[in-house]
Structure 1
Amino acid sequence: MKRLKSLVLLATTVATLGLVTGCSGNGNSESGSTKVETKIVSSVKGDVEIPTNPKRIVDISGSSEELAILGHVPVATANVDSYETDKVPSYVSDKLGKSKVVGHSMMDTMDIEAILAAEPDLIIMAPRQEKIYDQLKDIAPVVMLEDQSNDWEAKLKDVAKLFGQEEEAQKWLDAYYAKAEKIGAEIKEANGDKTYLTVLASSGQFMVFTEGGIGTVLKQDMKLPQPVNMPKQDSITLPTVTMEGLTEIDADHIIVIGTESDKADLEASTVWPQIRAVKEGNVTILDASPYFSQAYNPIGRELLLQNIKDEVVK
């Protein structure tokens, strides 16, 4: 009996040691490899070796919506609300709400300790954060994407290229543009050929979305006409006009994005009620959060289509 017990104990010990050895084996084990598959991708900093199928992505470049569309929800993000920078925008909280906020994607530095704690196997960053590049390289492979902050479509394609998902990204884009044109046609059918002006109210002045943000959703995607007197936009910076400048632009419908303070300024103004679109009741006022930055990102942009129709078709 004692000999039988000894044999059982010995067998158990051997089995346990075998299990431990199997779990800690290197990638050359015949029973299964734990070696992570990698590939080489191009970046602003040159070629980088990254995991073929990363599981824990930290994105500080502002590309988290693009990642989510392609099925790569980051564990940490810097895609934040422009007015509530400690949280992701409300319209995308269902997709990014569990991602740890580690900074603001338009800033040049991040919470390095929080990034380290996220245990990433891939970090995606932008050139504006170059001063922390070497620190991040010590944590995980880093891909620095080109700055496409004013070209949302190019940004989606750049992210898709990292994962070999160009066709998937193009399919999403095709569906988006078809939906945008359809809703734009519905707006024109309901309202006629009205012109539309989109502005950000700011301390009594207005930043005009001539060639950026929500303005391009209406002009380029939905094919809605702009007024002929639009101020020119030569860079990413939005042109600014006064209240009187709005009168000169003379849009049929004005969409204003503003904070509660900005809205109060409009109500107190004696010039605002004299603008033709205001007189005729063709004004839409949207909250600064989240609408200001929403059109610069793909999920937000798609959601805007129906939102705009609901607001301008009465």
Structure 2
Amino acid sequence: MRKFLLVALLCIVAVFAAACGKSEGENANSSSKKSEAITVKHELGETKVSKNPKKVVVFDYGTLDTLDKLGIKVTGVPKGNIPSYIDKYEAKEYENVGSLKEPDFDKLAEIDPDLIIISGRQASLYEQLQELAPTIYLGVDTTRYMESFKENLAVIGNIFNKEDEIDKELKSIEQSIADLKKKASESDINALIILANDDKISAYGPSSRFGLIHDVFGIPAVDKGIEVSTHGMNVSFEYVVEQDPDLLYVIDRGAVVGSSSSAKQVVENDLTKKTKAYKNDNIVYLDPNYWYLSGGGLVSVQEMVNEVAKSLN
């Protein structure tokens, strides 16, 4: 009996020791994962970033779109003009970190984020933000849209271990683009892109903010000499009539910045009614949530492809 009890006791001790060893190993592995970091090279420099950061602040709505699609938790966002399709981030559970151009530095200091992600509107504040937390720039370079888009996704995939999910989403987008380019090549039409801002309009061509319609989707520009500018080339409706595009793409800025004017009322005037685009019912109003607020996201890029593909039906 004593022998049996001794053997049982030794077994218990062995199991306990093994469990402790395993627990210590797991804790060591957990600690290793927590401390793991990578160096992210981006347009504004190099930043050391911890893998799987817990408190993430995002100033770029395209990146917010991507993180939301991937199920990655976000702590803070600028709540001024959140795109309607991701308006869940207006909820109180997400911290309001100011506006796109004016971050709330006091709130950021209070949050003490593990990572801040910015794009063009915050580029001039990079050094200040970097002093508060590791900051990376993930804006899209419109002169090489898809390459830049994929590079940004690769960074996100690496930081959050989401490479497989991103690869799957990218394959779907690339197939949609290939289908769209084929449709564009068979349609033999040209297009003009304009941004409507109250009673003013500006034109965008290849390599511009909205130039992926030409550069990536394959729809020829009616005017290849449009000045490349963030704010577009100021033009008149006489210019639109003179160019006489087969397709006129309109992005209504006012619709997402609180303007009371309607782009449709402004654009469809007596002059544009003379164009082929109007006569053939080919004035297309693109969703400014995707095009103006959140370009470069997994959802927004796919929706951009969908909208342009639909316009060619």
- By the TM > 0.5 criterion, same fold? yes
**Do the aligned residues in 2 keep the contact of 1:66 with 1:156 (CA within 8 Å)?**
no
**C-alpha distance in structure 2 between counterparts of 1:31 and 1:223, whole Å:** 52
**C-alpha distance in structure 2 between counterparts of 1:200 and 1:244, whole Å:** 15
Q: What SS is found at the alignment partner of 1:32?
A: helix
**Do the aligned residues in 1 keep the contact of 2:76 with 2:97 (CA within 8 Å)?**
yes
- How do 1:1-314 and structure 2 match up within 5 A? 32=27, 35=31, 36-43=34-41, 48-61=47-60, 63-69=63-69, 71-78=71-78, 86-93=80-87, 99-105=94-100, 107=101, 109-125=102-118, 127-130=123-126, 132-133=128-129, 136-137=132-133, 142-145=134-137, 148=140, 150=142, 152-153=145-146, 154-158=148-152, 160-161=154-155, 164=158, 168=164, 169=166, 172-186=169-183, 192-210=187-205, 211-216=207-212, 218-227=213-222, 229-258=223-252, 259=254, 260-267=261-268, 269-286=269-286, 288-289=288-289, 291-313=291-313
Give 1 or 2: higher helix fraction: 2
**C-alpha distance in structure 2 between counterparts of 1:49 and 1:214, whole Å:** 32
Q: Which residue matches 1:23?
A: none
Structure 1 residues 135 and 103, CA, compared in 2 at 3 Å: closer, same or farther?
same
**C-alpha distance in structure 2 between counterparts of 1:160 and 1:306, whole Å:** 23
**Percent identical residues:** 18
**Do the aligned residues in 1 keep the contact of 2:245 with 2:275 (CA within 8 Å)?**
no
TM value normalised by structure 2: 0.69
**C-alpha distance in structure 2 between counterparts of 1:177 and 1:278, whole Å:** 31
Q: How many residues align?
A: 269
**C-alpha distance in structure 1 between counterparts of 2:88 and 2:132, whole Å:** 28
Q: Deviations over 1:134-190 (max 9, x none)?
A: 6524xxxx133265453554255245336526954555434312211213434665x
Structure 1 residues 131 and 294, CA, compared in 2 at 3 Å: closer, same or farther?
closer
Q: What SS is found at the alignment partner of 2:262?
A: helix
- RMSD between aligned residues: 3.5
**C-alpha distance in structure 1 between counterparts of 2:270 and 2:46, whole Å:** 59
Q: Which residue matches 2:4?
A: none
Structure 2: 5+ residue runs without aligned partners?
1-23, 255-260
**C-alpha distance in structure 1 between counterparts of 2:26 and 2:190, whole Å:** 67
**C-alpha distance in structure 2 between counterparts of 1:48 and 1:173, whole Å:** 25
